[in-house]
Structure 1
């Protein structure tokens, strides 16, 4: 199942820099692992924002929920999810 996910990150200024840096490094490692596994198919930065649009390919709604809530920066994110379906006019297969 494909999902487009918008993630907006808002790390509080009160979080110590060392802790924020550790969370960002953990987030990067987790995101890259998910990309290598094929679960996180696309990752696009939104210019000028600490945000992204991503496409996830997971087995179920529950799988997506577990994947997103395991993100190290999850407590500091506002997330919206849009389920995707193949468009009948698309020339590329899913």
Structure 2
């Protein structure tokens, strides 16, 4: 699978029923755990003091990432997403020999 840096900002539409927001947030946590278990969600951070997330996600290609991974998130209709495909860096300390 390829890796992608994904920046997500969620904006809840004004006037949305708080019960609907709670329902979707709960479902989002469940779906994120499923995607982590299947290897699609590798790492996820929230910048301190911000209501956005930055993560490393994995998929076969960007179309799969958009449609079959991110597209399955319950909050996706309220998200703006920026996807950056990643490639290994020869100096990556996460690899033993520097190979990709």
RCO comparison, higher one (Cα < 8 Å, 6+): 1
Q: CA deviation at 1:36?
A: 1.4
Give ranges in structure 2 of 5+ residues lacking alignment.
none
Cα RMSD for the two superposed structures = 1.2
Q: CA deviation at 1:76?
A: 0.7
- Matched residues, number: 94
Give ranges in structure 1 of 5+ residues lacking alignment.
none
Task: Report the counterpart of residue 44 of structure 1 in structure 2.
Answer: 45
TM-score w.r.t. the length of structure 2 is: 0.88
Q: 3-state SS of the aligned residue for 1:62? A: helix
Larger radius of gyration: 2
Matches within 5 A, 1:70-85: 70-85=72-87
Matched, 1:89 2:74: no
User: Which consecutive segments of 4 or more residues in structure 1 shift more than 4 A?
Assistant: none
Matches within 5 A, 1:1-94: 1-66=2-67, 67-93=69-95
TM-score w.r.t. the length of structure 1 is: 0.93
